[in-house]
Amino acid sequence: MRLRRRRRRPNAAQTFGAFFVFAGVMHFVVPRTYAAIMPDWVPAHMPLVYASGVAEIAGGAGVLHPRTRQAAAWWSVATLVAVFPANVHMAQHPERYRVPGGRWALYGRLPLQGAAVAWALAAARV
């Protein structure tokens, strides 16, 4: 009789880590998109786009390894908090952005930052 192997479901660290690495890589793939959402009062848009991409890649990769998981999760939370003003800026200026759902979709994105913070903290507990 052949035993059936159970497939292990990915945990919060694996899913958050992969998501955050992907999100960070996208800062290098489409940097102008990220620069466009930054508030006007923030200086040096492009260098900060690249820096936030590196921060996201580092946080996501760090969450994947048990030894660095907790520190990387908190790093990721700090990164999410740091980029939150860009999401608020988008919601306050919907005329600048073509997004399906318009203004309401942009305001709807704001609580998702909280969900991402919760996801990062869940990854720290794995």
Q: pLDDT tens across 99-116, in order?
A: 899 999 999 999 999 999
Residues of the chain with pLDDT under 50: none
Domain layout of the chain by residue ranges = 12-124
pLDDT recorded at residue 7: 74
pTM value is 0.89
Spatial separation of the C-alpha atoms in residues 95 and 17, rounded to whole Å: 33
pLDDT recorded at residue 1: 62
What value does the mean pLDDT of the chain take?
Answer: 94
pLDDT recorded at residue 30: 97
Q: How many CA atoms lie within 13 A of 115 on its CB side?
A: 5
